[in-house]
Structures are given as structure tokens and as C-alpha cells.
Amino acid sequence: MKKLSAFESNSYRNLLLEYGFNQEKIDAKVKQTWEMLFQSDHPDTQIYYSVGNDLGYMLDTGNDDVRTEGMSYGMMMAVQMNEKEIFDRIWNWSMKYMYMEEGENAGYFAWSCAPDGTKNAYGPAPDGEEYFALALFFASHRWGDGEGIYQYSKHAKDLLRDCVHKGKNNDGYPMWNPDNKLIKFVPSVEFSDPSYHIPHFYELFALWSYEEDRTFWKKAAEASRQYIAKAAHPITGLSPEYAFYDGTPNHIRGFGHFFSDSYRVACNIALDYEWFRDNACPVVVNEKLQAFFADKDPEDYRRYNIAGEAFDEKSLHPVGLIATNAMASLSTSGENAKKCVDLFWDTPVRTGDRRYYDNCLYFFSLLALSGNFKIWMPQ
């Protein structure tokens, strides 16, 4: 008998507990990790910073900028942790400095700003928009809608409408290709990033977006599960950072290999399996991925081509890779799954200039493995 999905049962696996870790220690680790990322008395690990009375931002410490990726991640973390003040501070900052009201990208968010709010670019990155949208829906369902920018659900629906329909009136470009339903790397190009594909988000967009958009999102979920499977190497399970619509690596600027963006593919498969258990969810990719890394020393993680050949270049985010390989265990089983979780448990959050991306992936993995990365349904 097929086990019910979390969406069907409202029950979430605590894989850490299943693997023998103590519940009090699990709870303490979640709380402590949140504090290490979001509180100022942990300067070596902090990535969130409050500004004034009502603003806050997530800092990419390696590039000294504020990205929609991190801001939307911070909002998702905050809603999962029931931290409304921090959620609203990040959302306020995003709307004040990142939201674009004119030009071909009106309705989207500028993907990079300086910490003082100055835009570094006027283009969006779709992985930010999709996380913004679901975090806003969850906020609406958990805390209720307010007025203005705190009409969370309206802003989510409006954002998704722009993502799908822009370009129909020569007003820019949509974030998803309207024909194949695949997310683009950026709206103006016709190729993708496998780690942007989050079918479990699209399943929820198909329930909560404007009614005329719901069929699109259901088809996008189906298309993305197929694409994730297609883009991953059939033996290693490794995915490229950029890929064409047929799944083959796109080597523009050297991004056709398994590197930083690619790590998130394992997370997306794992959470899709946990939330929906769709038969098309390509869990075999995560099984192959964990097998590939089973004999590798984390101190020597590298850039790889998707066939598994290592380059001289070391991984920029080895802690992030440890975290995502562990999160993959929500969709796998056996010795490799347990090994990945044990390694993650014994790995501390990262310090230093490169800590931002690693620690975002670390906290998402910790939430998921402890049963705390949840779907917040309408009340």
C-alpha cells in the first residue's frame, strides 16, 4: 500500500528521529541554527540583518549583495519558524528596494541589490520569484492577510500571473516558456536551470493562483518532473547548472557542469517526494547522486562534469553539498542515505565569507529532515 504524502496526511517524516537522533537534540539544533543565522550575537554565522524599525535583509556574504534568492529563502525560513516580524521585515525590504514598477521587468524583483538598497541590476532571477510566491501563500495561510503589501495572497497571485502572462502584450518576457511549461534561467533567454524546477511548489500554485492560471501550473509540475529526470546524468545523477530544454548541458560561461546551483536539485526531488509522492518524481536521481558521493571526502568536493569527472576547482560550498545530499535521504533509503544524514548531523554551519549559500541550504535541509518544512494550508 502506497504511503500517503504529506499533502494528503498533514504528517511529515522526522528522518532524524527515525535514524536514532534524540528529539530534544533535534529541536535544540533547529532553534540554535535559526539563531546562528538570524541573530546578531552570532556574527561568524549570521546572514540576516535588521535595518531600522521595519526592514531586514539576507546578505550574500560571498558577494556582499542582497539577492532575491536569499530574500525569498529568508521569508520561507521565517514562515516555517513562525517568525512573522522577520518575515515582514524581509518582505518590506524586498518591496522597497527590489520590486520593479516600470520597464519590461515591471512586476518582477531586481535579482541583486547593494545592502543600502541600490539596485545592482534591473533583471530578475526566477528562483527568487517562485520562492517569494509560495512563502507569501504560506504567510497568508498561517497568519492571515493584512492591508497593502501585507495582502500576502494577492501579491503571490499577482506575481505568478506576471510570471506566466508577461510578453503577451509586448511588455517583457514570461518566466516560464508558455509552450513547454519550463522555467527559464532568466526571462529573456530560452534555456533553463535544473535547480530552478520545483514541481511541488507548482502543485500548490495550481490550487491557489488565479483560477485561469491553475491549469498552467499543474502542467508545469508535470513538465518539471520530467525535465529533472532528463537533465540528470543517467549514471551519476549529477545535473548541470544550466541546461537546454532537452536537458542537455548548456556550457555558456562554463555553467554546464555540476556546481553550486546544481546542489539544489537533490533538495527539490526530496521535498517533492515528501510532499506529494507523485509516481513521476525522479527519486532514482537522488539514489545515484548519493552513490556518487559515497566514497568522496567532503574536504575534496569539486566541480564535476555531469559524467562525474572531477576538475581541479574545489567546491565553493561543500557544507551546502553535504546538506543537500542529506536532504536527498527523504526520498531514498539504505546505507548511503543514512551515511549522508550522519555526515550532515556532524557538520557545523559554515563560517567565513562564503557562509551565506551553504547555510541557507543547511537550514532548509535541517527543517526538512526534522519534519519542519511544511505545507501551510488555508485555514
| Domains and their CATH numbers in the chain | 1-46+176-183+223-374 (1.50.10.10), 47-164 (1.50.10.10)
Specify the pLDDT at position 3.
Answer: 85
**Per-residue exposure over 30-60, b if at least 16 CB sit within 10 Å of its own CB, e if not:** beebbebbbeeebeebbbbbbeeeebbbbbb
Which residues are tagged catalytic?
A: 69, 261
Specify the pLDDT at position 49.
Answer: 98
Model confidence pLDDT, tens digit, residues 207-222: 999 999 999 999 999 9
Ramachandran angles phi, psi of 39, nearest 5°: -115, 145
- What pTM value is reported for the model? 0.98
- pLDDT score of 1 more than 80: no
How many percent of the chain have pLDDT more than 70?
Answer: 100
Q: Which cell is 276 given? A: 506529494
pLDDT (mean) for 257-266: 98
pLDDT (mean) for 365-376: 98
Full DSSP string of 149-171: GG-HHHHHHHHHHHHHHTTTTSS
